[in-house]
Amino acid sequence: MVKFTPAPLAAPLPDDALLAEIEAVALELARLAGVEITATLTREITVQYKREPRGTAAPTDPVSEVDHAIERLLRERLGQRFPAHGIVGEEVPDHPSPDHEFVWAVDPVDGTTNFVNGFPLFACSIGVLHRGRPVVAAVWCSASHELRPGVYHARRGGGLHFEQHPVVPGGRPRTGVTRRLAAAPGGSPRRTARWDHRVTGSAAIESAFVAAGIFSCAIFWSPGLWDVAAGATLLLESGHEVWTRGPGRAGWVPFERFEAPTTVRERRAPSLRDWRRPLIVGERDAVETLRRTARGPSLWRRARFRLRRLLTRR
């Protein structure tokens, strides 16, 4: 087991001109990914599973040729535009250097299970971190608050936008709506006194929908960096709150940045790729309620999850 000491908090953010340039590239790449994803909807695609079954266990965690093709495309374009930046992608298991000032976190198709089954909720998520702090985001979504595909994008200090048009914080006004929607992972309560829960199958879409005011809040118990790096910027720039679990018994604390864990089981140094922390995001009163009431998966559910991973491990 290798230990890692986190770096001190990052220096001040880069100037807005640089962030605007990075946002423009992220927007361009997210749109390109959306075009590529849409072009595959009417043709046959090849699907594999990252965890093959053993015995009677069913395969889990699909990945399609489209995931791989889009990640290769994004990496190629980013290598040309920003060769000094690091990249963390879901489908390529490499680790960025801690010396990288900027790291791009890319999920080429978030919601692959939806995508390969024709359920029309999926996304391409592109987030940019500066010394671990989320600073730029572009998330192409197959659906949006405007009932069309498009890209939610933002940079720190620039506000939330959808296809280069500002998104009004809080969404449209509502009269007489007493029950809002909340995104929740499988296994969370389906109904509470305040919200009706929806599960989209895409953390990127759920983050974007909270930012746009469609959902009031969301919980992610064990996301990967590529799942939420972009969403964190969208949420912060829409005026929403983002909280994570602190170390030890610290409970929920305001989120500041993504950082490598202190240890990993493999014989290597930890990296940003290893980040996995719970997040609560959303409107202030909703987040306050969830911080008091949210509980992680039960011991029984965690044991079943670990057993399933053992059964499906190569």
- For the stretch 287-313, pLDDT in tens is 999 998 877 665 555 555 455 544 443
Per-residue DSSP letter, 190: S
Mean pLDDT (the chain) is 87
Tell me: the pLDDT tens digits for 77-100? 999 999 999 999 999 999 999 999
Task: Round to whole Å and give the CA distance between 97 and 1.
Answer: 19
Residue 20, in any domain of the structure: yes
Q: What is the pLDDT of residue 304?
A: 53
CATH of the domain at 298: 3.30.540.10
Q: What is the pLDDT of residue 12?
A: 86
pTM of the shown model: 0.88
Task: Round to whole Å and give the CA distance between 178 and 195.
Answer: 9
Residue 250, in any domain of the structure: yes
Q: What is the pLDDT of residue 193?
A: 61
Q: How many domains does the chain have?
A: 1
Residue 2, in any domain of the structure: no
- The two three-digit tokens of residue 82, written as one number: 């920003």
What residues contact 32, with CB distance under 8 A and at least 6 apart? 73, 77
Q: Look up the domain containing 76 and give its range.
A: 15-312
Q: What is the pLDDT of residue 6?
A: 45
Residue 9, in any domain of the structure: no
Residue 132, in any domain of the structure: yes
Residue 121, in any domain of the structure: yes
In Å, how far are 118, 199, 205, 245 from 114, measured between CA atoms?
6, 11, 12, 29
Scored b (16 or more CB within 10 A) or e, 232-251 reads: bbbbbbbebbbbbbeeeeee
What residues contact 202, with CB distance under 8 A and at least 6 apart? 110, 111, 114, 121, 122, 123
Q: What is the pLDDT of residue 5?
A: 41
Alpha helices (H) along 138-259: 203-211, 225-237
Residue 7, in any domain of the structure: no
Residue 98, in any domain of the structure: yes
- Ranges under pLDDT 70 in the chain: 1-11, 51-58, 185-193, 296-314
